[in-house]
């Protein structure tokens, strides 16, 4: 199935930057949420020097996403994820562990996933070997950092067993076998054949209006979404995440007046962008749809913080919906009028010649 667009797609540079930012944020967010529930990569090593075998969900998910995304996104997301986790839960910063996690992600991402790679048994063994090498490099970093910054008085044997061997068994139980299995499953589902998954439920537009859509690619599978709705969902997710993050770190009291102002202002660009296109005054772009959808998503999230302005918020939402339906009504009338002109052009027979 081929998807043709009547509109010039956003430049590859803009798309690449957007996808990279979303990728870094997604890995960062997943690292923080899994670390909050199961502990971060550094959790088994902070405040203890005893040997134990630990299965790390955070390390498993982080390694898997690092291989999918590549070295630079993995490095940035790993560093930020570990740093923010430490600030939120340790209330102090162990910068060495931020770099250890980041470097581990970078090394894992070097042998980046490519479609159909894990259909080849040889490549599967390469992945396992590279994960083992990554673990050995990380062990050296862990032991060195621990000796330099945390437990300089401990004997080398204790450092090696309490930190080096612990990290090796952590990667052995969590990563070295599990991650290749996940990659094989991922490759089987998303790369066995080239697919364009274009569903009206997700795009809200027929294929002829595919310029209103945006796709995410997994392996050789492209999944299409409505551009503005994608922006809204991303806006909601990001605002929910950062709200949660700020509550963890500083526990702020959100100002209801500010929330109400956001709800007033942020939907306006989206209404203008969508309304002017619906009225056939202009053609919107994928970038503007994503951006306006994004800030609408932020506004939707802040509805829950309006407090004593909640009644006025309901009135405001009603007004915006009325404007939306007016745009829709007059836009449909104008569209039908234009179609009628095209289908019934004026002919010379319609005029009387005297």
Give pLDDT tens digits for 180-202: 999 999 999 999 899 999 998 88
Residues 185 and 250 in one domain: no
Average pLDDT, stretch 81-95?
93
Residues 235 and 153 in one domain: no
Check: CB of residue 301 under 8 Å from CB of residue 236: yes
Residues 6+ apart with CB under 8 A from 38: 56, 57, 58
Residues 167 and 20 in one domain: yes
- The per-residue pLDDT for range 262-275, each reduced to its tens digit, is 999 999 999 999 99
* Selection from 2, 19, 1 nearest residue 286 by Cα: 19
Measured distance CA(184)–CA(187) in Å, rounded: 5
Check: CB of residue 42 under 8 Å from CB of residue 61: no
Residue with tokens 């043709």: 4
- Domain extent for 46: 12-190
Domain end call among 128, 159, 190? 190
Helices (H) and strands (E) in the chain, counts: 14, 3
Flag whether pLDDT at 10 surpasses 50.
Answer: no
Domain end call among 190, 218, 247? 190
Residues 46 and 104 in one domain: yes
Q: Taking the CA atoms of 121, 110, 223 and 221 in sequence, report the sign of the dihedral they define.
A: negative
**What CATH number is given to the structural domain containing 134?**
1.10.1760.20
In a domain, 203, yes or no: no
- The per-residue pLDDT for range 240-267, each reduced to its tens digit, is 999 888 888 887 777 889 999 999 999 9
Measured distance CA(272)–CA(289) in Å, rounded: 11
Residues 31 and 94 in one domain: yes
In a domain, 350, yes or no: no
Flag whether pLDDT at 151 surpasses 90.
Answer: no
The partner residues of 221 in beta bridges, in order of sequence, read 195, 218
Report in angstroms the alpha-carbon separations of 239 from 24, 35, 294, 353.
16, 19, 10, 68
In a domain, 213, yes or no: no
Flag whether pLDDT at 349 surpasses 60.
Answer: no
Residues 183 and 278 in one domain: no
Residues 164 and 34 in one domain: yes
DSSP assignments along 296-319, one per residue: HHHHHHHGGG-GGGHHHHHHHHHH
Average pLDDT, stretch 143-160?
80
* Selection from 238, 245, 254 nearest residue 88 by Cα: 245
In a domain, 219, yes or no: no
Q: Which of 167-171, 215-219, 316-320, 345-349 has the lowest mean pLDDT?
A: 345-349
Tokens, residue 274 = 């969508």
Q: How confident is the model at residue 346 (pLDDT cuts 50, 70, 90)?
A: low
Domain end call among 129, 164, 190? 190
Residue with tokens 């009291």: 253
Residues 6+ apart with CB under 8 A from 248: 36, 88, 89
The reported pTM is: 0.84
Looking at residue 8, its pLDDT comes to 46
In a domain, 330, yes or no: yes
Residues 272 and 179 in one domain: no
Strands 195-197 vs 221-226: parallel, antiparallel or unpaired:
parallel
* Selection from 119, 125, 120, 113 nearest residue 74 by Cα: 113
Angle separating helix axes 310-343 and 267-278, nearest 10 degrees: 20
In a domain, 315, yes or no: yes
Residues 6+ apart with CB under 8 A from 43: 35
Q: How confident is the model at residue 237 (pLDDT cuts 50, 70, 90)?
A: very high
Residues 19 and 126 in one domain: yes
Most confident of 53-57, 253-257, 319-323, 341-345: 319-323
Residues 124 and 242 in one domain: no
Total of domains in the chain: 2
Return the DSSP state at 154: S
Residues 6+ apart with CB under 8 A from 347: none
Task: Supply the mean pLDDT for the chain.
Answer: 87
- The per-residue pLDDT for range 223-235, each reduced to its tens digit, is 999 888 889 999 9
Residues 186 and 240 in one domain: no
Q: How confident is the model at residue 100 (pLDDT cuts 50, 70, 90)?
A: very high
Residues 102 and 247 in one domain: no
Strands 221-226 vs 213-218: parallel, antiparallel or unpaired:
antiparallel
Q: Within 10 Å of residue 80's Cβ, how many Cβ atoms?
A: 20
Flag whether pLDDT at 213 surpasses 90.
Answer: no
């Amino acid at each position: 199935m081929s998807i043709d667009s009547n509109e010039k797609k956003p430049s590859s540079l803009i798309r690449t930057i957007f996808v990279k930012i979303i990728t870094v944020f997604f890995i960062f967010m997943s690292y923080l949420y899994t670390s909050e529930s199961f502990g971060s990569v550094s959790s088994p090593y902070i405040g203890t020097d005893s040997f134990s075998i630990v299965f790390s969900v955070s390390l498993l998910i982080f390694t898997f996403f690092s291989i999918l995304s590549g070295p630079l996104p993995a490095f940035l997301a790993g560093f930020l994820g570990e740093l923010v986790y430490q600030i939120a839960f340790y209330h102090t910063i162990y910068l060495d562990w931020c770099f250890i996690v980041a470097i581990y992600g970078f090394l894992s991402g070097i042998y980046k996933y490519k479609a159909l790679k894990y259909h080849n048994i040889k490549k599967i063994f390469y992945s396992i070997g590279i994960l083992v090498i990554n673990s050995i490099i990380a062990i050296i970093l862990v032991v060195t950092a621990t000796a330099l910054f945390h437990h300089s008085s401990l004997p080398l044997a204790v450092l090696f067993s309490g930190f080096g061997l612990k990290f090796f068994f952590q990667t052995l139980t969590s990563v070295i076998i599990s991650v290749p299995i996940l990659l094989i499953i991922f490759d089987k589902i998303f790369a066995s054949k080239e697919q364009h998954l274009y569903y009206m439920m997700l795009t809200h537009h027929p294929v002829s209006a595919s310029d209103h859509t945006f796709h995410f690619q997994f392996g050789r599978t492209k999944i299409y979404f409505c551009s503005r709705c994608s922006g809204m969902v991303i806006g909601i997710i990001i605002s929910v995440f950062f709200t949660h993050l700020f509550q963890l770190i500083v526990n702020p009291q959100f100002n209801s007046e500010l929330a109400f102002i956001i709800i007033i202002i942020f939907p306006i660009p989206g209404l203008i962008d969508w309304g002017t296109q619906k009225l056939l005054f202009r053609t919107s772009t994928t970038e503007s749809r994503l951006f306006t959808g994004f800030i609408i998503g932020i506004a939707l999230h802040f509805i829950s913080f309006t407090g004593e302005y909640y009644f006025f918020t309901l009135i405001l939402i009603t007004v915006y919906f009325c404007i939306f339906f007016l745009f829709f009504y007059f836009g449909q009338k104008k569209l039908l009028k234009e179609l009628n002109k095209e289908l019934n052009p004026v002919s010379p027979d319609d005029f009387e010649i005297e």
